[in-house]
Structure 1
């Protein structure tokens, strides 16, 4: 008797969804081409999905982008009338019960909430889904696709279970369950994209999932910019961060000076200061797969070299990004007694970050190691788009992006990074030095931009299926 009631209850719940799904299939056949893009994370910190949305809109699709709205997306996305951003509400962690129970409640809430949001949106020809996070979004998007006739495309940035493994350990039951879930539901997608050839091969060999490699490429706004725009950014940052302020006042009080540049009052001409500090940028997500202590230790060694009389400039290190370990490392930075190295951690608007990289900075440092060893750091892609050389910590497939001694350097530990900083900044600013050589190599490489790469790899897939 109880089983009969359960079946009846399931039918009562399922029937409205089936009817709604049938109506949405009819709507989809009558509507213009439409794509639903899903990010169960912060849209503003998901550049690849923003780029997908912009490229789809550029080629005639209307796009509904669902995700958390914790930080501002790029202005191009906000200005595009073909793109609608739908904010999702994130359930904060519960304060009661064991951790497994809290996590289970959060997953169930997110699944029901995402299902409701998707079913009451205009149906799409495709559902573009970012993974990770894929729990519970892969199953929900597949189910909605079955009801509404939408084809599911998963863009594999990494593996969600491997990120969970950094916190719980690779053999934790939750991690093993997440791995099974990701593998099982990942096979149900219609198309799969991934970020490296190494991930494509792993998906094929171990997951029986065929994917197309779509490398991250810099968007059009990641490019070298005029010196006057760089100066404007330095003056803006100098209002809140002392490392950007002038070390001395100019003789002419009408001359505008930052720590790196000055604008002459009469002509308005902007020049770089000869005795400026070197500017190093590290964009970080402040998570367990980025060992920030490597950079701090290297900066300490670099400062000691300066104090020992080596011909090295003072250094300004700008660290951008948000993440769970930001406060912890900010306290460590404050405890350091740096004399010739200054560290600041501003949060930059989406429009200011490219300006910081685009000729303003002298060197980028990447600490990303990848929980799976199969993805590549988007931050390096952006830096290369601005022709900014990079020192990057080595991991399994980094060679697909960073070419050692060609567009940057690869290091293993803080000792090696400190030695690279010493070599690169010796006799700074030296036009004949390694830094400028790497920058020229990047300029001559004629890198494809995101739009050009997307047209070659993704557009044929969505037009032919």
Structure 2
């Protein structure tokens, strides 16, 4: 057999093998589609902005081409994997933007849903692969439902990581969720000769333990799984020094601490900018509107000729953001507000304390539950709204607020609330509920206050807001101290800690 014939035969065999592999996976995928009736492969509704040239929205056709896996012209190709809503995964968006700014090609794989930051969409080096979230399968028994979801996720991730993206030099994975993401990502990296980098935001098994209990067999299996596959990674980042030490001590995983830091969009606002964002919200939410006939007035500001001014009796703007999950008990805030209300309703105190407009922004499974609790409250001097803000509006409302509240309690005690990072980036002091490593971010009586329960939160709000808006001595002190934090941004920290890993 001559050399040319042998070469042609090998090529034909490779093509046949590839064709068989694609056919078999397509059949398996068809089975999942049949089980999950009603599956929709077109995601235009999720991403109406898909016409942007830097954004590719892809469904799950039963045939695909190997051309998607061709090598890019760039020296380095990075896959950033988020098994969640891309638009609600800010840290992984920041990773992607920083990688793109460094001249690397980025394939960002995650679920469609919330619109990502404009800075990410505008990056021509970033290609977004938007996956369809699994359907609920509520009609199936619990164990079968979990099994089918696991099969779905394994197939979905395998298809995208093997066939829909170019061969990555590095695969950067957000954890949690850990299952089945770490195992699939590790397996794909071994097949494609890529390096696996895990960004540890928390431990997945501790989140599972919130609903099942720490001793549940699934929680223990999840812990073993997370530890086993986590140790197979090539490099690791984490969000606190406490988590870095825990990973090293208990799992023998060496990680670099990459603190969350706000990008430049999170900043203090001047009065005119505050008036603009409040006016935007006033178009949709009545509590932000002024009580005069002038449509340019808001509850906080008014226009005097061409000058924007604060109202002398303006309310204080209190803000909190949440994913409305079990690790945040918002009854603490509602009960603290009730205590504040009772104080203000005392006629002797009515002029000492301001009215409050409380904004709780976010999406999540427990939102409706807490909205019902809010409706049952009969507040007189407190107004509450629960909007979902656009990515570009969220930093602005933080910059316009007077005080932030954080109720995030880490399931592991080892991660830090990103919402506080965002608030600090805007120069906004925070009252935060205590947990083990919070001191790495919030310095009590220096840049904010730490509370243990609703009674302490109520007392802190009274202390900080007494005499508002004329007297803000402690709030002003906290804002002054936050200027040091505001000077160090995400890009600088990322360049120092993460960039060298991707250049190795």
Aligned partner of 1:179 in structure 2 is 223
1:134 CA drift (Å):
1.6
Q: 1:164 aligns with which of 208, 213, 219?
A: 208
Answer yes or no: is the 8 Å Cα contact 1:262–1:271 preserved in 2.
yes
1:365 CA drift (Å):
0.1
1:248 CA drift (Å):
3.2
* 2:87 is the alignment partner of 1:44: yes
Q: 1:355 aligns with which of 374, 392, 396?
A: 396
1:457 CA drift (Å):
0.6
Report the secondary structure of 1:257's partner residue: coil
Aligned partner of 2:29 in structure 1 is none
Aligned partner of 1:337 in structure 2 is 378
Q: 1:67 aligns with which of 102, 110, 113?
A: 110
CA change 1:14–1:378 in 2 (3 A) is farther
With the length of structure 1 as denominator, give the TM-score of the two structures: 0.91
Q: How does 1:123-162 map to 2 (within 5 A)?
A: 123-162=167-206
Answer yes or no: is the 8 Å Cα contact 1:28–1:125 preserved in 2.
no
CA change 1:220–1:445 in 2 (3 A) is closer
Question: 2:453, 2:143 → 1: CA distance?
Answer: 36
Question: 1:79, 1:426 → 2: CA distance?
Answer: 44
Question: 2:134, 2:233 → 1: CA distance?
Answer: 26
Question: 1:191, 1:285 → 2: CA distance?
Answer: 29
Q: How does 1:36-435 map to 2 (within 5 A)?
A: 36-120=79-163, 121-249=165-293, 253=294, 256-264=296-304, 266-267=305-306, 269-308=307-346, 309-310=348-349, 311-358=352-399, 360-435=400-475
Report the secondary structure of 2:383's partner residue: strand
Answer yes or no: is the 8 Å Cα contact 1:69–1:87 preserved in 2.
yes
Question: 1:400, 1:15 → 2: CA distance?
Answer: 53
Report the secondary structure of 1:288's partner residue: coil
User: For each residue in 1:387-430, what CA deviation from the matched residue of structure 2 results, as whole angstroms up to 9, or x when unmatched?
Assistant: 00000000010000000000000000000000000000000013
Question: 1:364, 1:29 → 2: CA distance?
Answer: 45
Question: 1:200, 1:43 → 2: CA distance?
Answer: 25
Aligned partner of 1:5 in structure 2 is none
1:32 CA drift (Å):
3.1
User: For each residue in 1:159-186, what CA deviation from the matched residue of structure 2 results, as whole angstroms up to 9, or x when unmatched?
Assistant: 1111111111111121111111111110
CA change 1:456–1:15 in 2 (3 A) is farther
With the length of structure 2 as denominator, give the TM-score of the two structures: 0.85
1:30 CA drift (Å):
6.8
Segments of 5+ residues of structure 2 without an aligned counterpart are 1-16, 23-65
Report the secondary structure of 2:128's partner residue: strand
Runs of 4+ in 1 over 6 A off after TM superposition: 12-15
1:431 CA drift (Å):
4.8
Question: 2:140, 2:131 → 1: CA distance?
Answer: 25
User: For each residue in 1:149-168, what CA deviation from the matched residue of structure 2 results, as whole angstroms up to 9, or x when unmatched?
Assistant: 11000000001111111111
Report the secondary structure of 1:143's partner residue: helix
Report the secondary structure of 2:160's partner residue: helix
Report the secondary structure of 1:256's partner residue: coil
Report the secondary structure of 1:317's partner residue: strand
Answer yes or no: is the 8 Å Cα contact 2:425–2:486 preserved in 1.
no
Report the secondary structure of 1:155's partner residue: strand
User: For each residue in 1:168-208, what CA deviation from the matched residue of structure 2 results, as whole angstroms up to 9, or x when unmatched?
Assistant: 11111211111111111101110010000111111111111
Report the secondary structure of 1:66's partner residue: strand
Report the secondary structure of 2:78's partner residue: strand
Aligned partner of 2:7 in structure 1 is none
Report the secondary structure of 2:135's partner residue: coil
Question: 2:108, 2:433 → 1: CA distance?
Answer: 33
Question: 2:445, 2:487 → 1: CA distance?
Answer: 17
1:233 CA drift (Å):
1.3
User: For each residue in 1:38-81, what CA deviation from the matched residue of structure 2 results, as whole angstroms up to 9, or x when unmatched?
Assistant: 00001011000000000000111010101111101000001111
CA RMSD of superposed structures (Å): 2.0
Segments of 5+ residues of structure 1 without an aligned counterpart are 1-11, 18-22
CA change 1:293–1:302 in 2 (3 A) is same
